[in-house]
């Protein structure tokens, strides 16, 4: 299949006068057209930092970004801001967390959509924009009248649906959902995830879902990338990784999540804390919290190994593509 986005050794560091924080380190993976990739990891793992780097939304005076992010033949990390502005929303769009903060409280939804639409299509008529937005509102199960409402007249779930509809205005090739359902109740979250999956089928959409909730990935993605302290631990198909997680960090994440079926079991939290990201790690970044870590793990950094099911794992337990426990 055609690769839509390929990341090669992407690094993102925050820099100030006192120190340098290595927020994302040597992340490499690819997304094929039509894929839905979930990026998971606990808070502080670099998920949103990576997304903002792809969208070029970081303050470039305080951020160092290296590597390649090839999107339709263009390196997103090297093109000019003018070129990126052309791509943003037309070819790549984003749905942020807490959509209620992204919309103006004193303007109707329709007025805001018109302003957004005219940035890329200045000649578009009001009728054309309204018809397009109403079609998208119906796609996310919202009534036509929402177009004329103020944000304060809607619930959080409705506003999140509006944000999703706005992200689809120009039929983007790639949509990034950054914790887009975190602030919602479980029922509303489930409804929106079902709608997102259905939209993918209808619009030939490729999606990145950034979340700390493993159930969101299980319900709505076909691939998953596990990030820890800015480094990629494991990436592959959801069906393979959730059934048989190989990296100890992935195992820890799944063991700390409750199951709705079967007998009640004790949840096991991952001991310890995220490391200080201003200090480069010589060995495996997860070694201080890993129950299987030995001297080699603390001394040498493991490289990504491709397994028989095509997943990639960065762990000394699985060097050579075979399990060495």
Residues in the chain: 325
> pTM for the whole thing?
0.90
Query: With 60 as the cut, is the pLDDT of residue 322 above it?
Result: no
Place of tokens 């028989």: 308
Over the stretch 13-69, which tens digit does the pLDDT of each residue have?
A: 999 888 999 999 999 999 999 899 999 999 889 999 999 999 999 998 999 999 999
pLDDT, position 320: 63
For the chain, the structural domain boundaries read 3-91+172-321
Is 218:238 a contact under the CB 8 Å cutoff?
Answer: yes
Q: How many CB atoms lie within 10 A of CB 47?
A: 25
pLDDT per residue as tens digits for the range 204-263: 889 999 998 888 898 889 999 999 999 999 999 999 999 999 999 999 999 887 765 667
> Which run of H or E residues covers position 159?
helix 156-167
Residue 183: the pLDDT is 66
Question: Under a CB-based contact definition with an 8 Å cutoff, are residues 325 and 310 in contact?
Answer: no
The encoded tokens of residue 71 equal 């999107």
pLDDT single digits (tens) 92-144: 999 987 766 788 999 999 999 999 999 999 999 999 999 999 999 998 889 99
For position 215, what pLDDT does the model report? 86
Determine the Cα angle at 311 with ends 175 and 323, to 5°: 155
DSSP designation for 102? T
Cα angle 191, 193, 194 (rounded to 5 degrees) comes to 65
Dist CA 48 CA 215 (whole Å) = 18
Measured at the CA of 219, the angle between CA 215 and CA 221, to 5 degrees, comes to: 105
Tokens for 162, please give them: 């509006």
Sign of CA dihedral 300, 304, 307, 312: positive
By CB atoms closer than 10 A (0-12, 13-18, 19+), residue 322 is: exposed
Q: What is the mean pLDDT of residues 69-98?
A: 91
CB atoms within 10 A of CB 242: 15
The per-residue pLDDT for range 272-305, each reduced to its tens digit, is: 899 999 988 889 999 999 999 999 999 999 988 9
Is domain 3-91+172-321 annotated with CATH 3.40.50.300?
yes
Beta bridge partners of 210: 39, 178
């Amino acid at each position: 299949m055609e690769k839509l986005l390929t990341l090669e050794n992407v690094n993102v560091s925050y820099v100030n006068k006192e120190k340098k924080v290595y927020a994302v380190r040597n992340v490499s993976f690819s997304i094929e057209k039509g894929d839905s990739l979930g990026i998971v990891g606990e808070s502080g793992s670099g998920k949103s930092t990576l997304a903002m780097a792809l969208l070029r939304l970081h303050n470039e005076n305080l951020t160092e970004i290296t590597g390649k992010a090839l999107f339709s033949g263009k390196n997103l990390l090297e093109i000019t801001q003018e070129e990126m502005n052309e791509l943003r929303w037309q070819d790549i769009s984003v749905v942020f967390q807490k959509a209620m903060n992204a919309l103006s409280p004193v303007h109707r939804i329709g007025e805001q959509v018109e302003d957004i639409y005219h940035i890329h299509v200045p000649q578009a008529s009001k009728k054309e924009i309204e018809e397009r937005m109403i079609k998208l509102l119906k796609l996310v199960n919202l009534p036509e009248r929402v177009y004329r409402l103020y944000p304060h007249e809607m619930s959080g779930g409705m506003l999140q649906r509006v944000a999703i509809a706005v992200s689809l205005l120009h039929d983007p090739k790639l949509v990034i959902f950054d914790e887009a359902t975190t602030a919602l109740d479980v029922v509303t979250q489930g409804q929106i995830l079902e709608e997102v999956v259905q939209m993918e089928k209808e619009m030939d959409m490729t999606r990145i879902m950034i979340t700390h909730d493993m159930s969101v990935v299980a319900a709505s993605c076909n691939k998953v990338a596990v990030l820890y302290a800015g480094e990629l631990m494991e990436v592959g198909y959801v069906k393979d990784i959730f059934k048989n997680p190989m990296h100890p960090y992935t195992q820890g994440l799944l063991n700390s999540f409750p199951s709705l079926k079967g007998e009640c079991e004790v949840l096991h939290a991952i001991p310890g804390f995220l490391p200080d990201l201003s200090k480069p790690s010589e060995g495996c970044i997860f070694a201080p919290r890993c129950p299987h870590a030995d001297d080699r793990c603390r001394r040498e950094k493991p490289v990504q190994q491709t397994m028989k099911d095509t997943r990639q794992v960065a762990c000394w337990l699985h060097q050579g593509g075979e399990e060495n426990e």
